């Protein structure tokens, strides 16, 4: 599955996020890919709003805290992996537990969750996730490509049996 959207302003990106957020369910992991200033945080704020996080609970970019938690109709985890430098850092964060906790996780700089050499293989135990790739088209224009992904049978641990 693959779907594309285009927005012309931060407000439109927020609205797109709201619509996406309304359709997320427990256990969903949203992986955001896009350059600095592409709109990852703006989209995340909309997603959180769509998941019922109150307006007052402002969703900041958690670059310094790495993980912020908000309460909507489900727990919402806003994760920013910009500062993650190694698999060890990633493991120290205890994300596997967060991702498996039945809330919704939205991850900025999600490339850090995947093997650099095999970007289709997640480093943590993720069975399925939603990818959103964001392109800066023009000053105020952003293109969003949504793709649903899953590990696939070859990625399942049972196939490592000898
Ligand atoms: N269509 C758009 N969608 C989102 N942000 C936009 C758009 N057009 C311009 N902008 C600007 O781009 C920046 C996006 O910032 P932010 O959401 O923090 O991005 P990121 O988290 O990817 O670094 C903001 O300064 C915002 O005003
Ligand atoms: Mg950001």
Looking at the CA of 141, which ligand is closest?
A: 1
Residues 57-87: tens digit of each pLDDT: 866 666 667 889 999 999 999 999 999 988 8
Domains along the chain?
2-151 (3.40.50.300)
What strands lie across the sheet with 141-150, from one edge to the other?
Answer: 2-7, 141-150, 128-138, 29-33, 104-108, 75-80, 67-71
Q: Where are the beta strands (DSSP E) in the chain?
A: 2-7, 29-33, 67-71, 75-80, 104-108, 128-138, 141-150
Higher pLDDT residue, 2 or 64? 2
pLDDT at 97: 84
Ligand 1 environment, Cβ below 6 A: 7-10, 12-13, 34, 36-42, 61, 108, 140, 142
How far apart (Å, rounded) are the C-alpha atoms in residues 63 and 80?
Answer: 5
Residues 81-108: tens digit of each pLDDT: 999 988 888 888 888 888 888 899 999 9
Residues 101-137: tens digit of each pLDDT: 889 999 999 999 998 888 888 888 888 999 999 999 9
């Amino acid at each position: 599955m693959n779907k594309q959207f285009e927005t012309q302003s931060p407000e439109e990106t927020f609205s797109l996020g709201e619509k996406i957020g309304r359709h997320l369910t427990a256990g969903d992991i949203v992986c955001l890919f896009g350059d600095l200033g592409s709109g990852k945080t703006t989209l995340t704020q909309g997603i959180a709003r769509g998941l019922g996080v109150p307006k007052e609970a402002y969703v900041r970019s958690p670059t310094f805290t790495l993980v912020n938690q908000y309460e909507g109709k489900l727990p919402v985890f806003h994760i920013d992996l910009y500062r993650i430098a190694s698999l060890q850092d990633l493991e120290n964060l205890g994300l596997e537990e967060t991702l498996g906790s039945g809330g919704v996780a939205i991850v900025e700089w999600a490339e850090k969750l995947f093997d650099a050499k095999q970007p289709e293989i997640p480093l943590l135990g993720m069975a399925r996730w939603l990818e959103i790739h964001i392109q800066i088209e023009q000053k105020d224009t952003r293109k969003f490509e949504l793709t649903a992904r899953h590990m696939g049978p070859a990625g399942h641990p049972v196939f490592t049996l000898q």
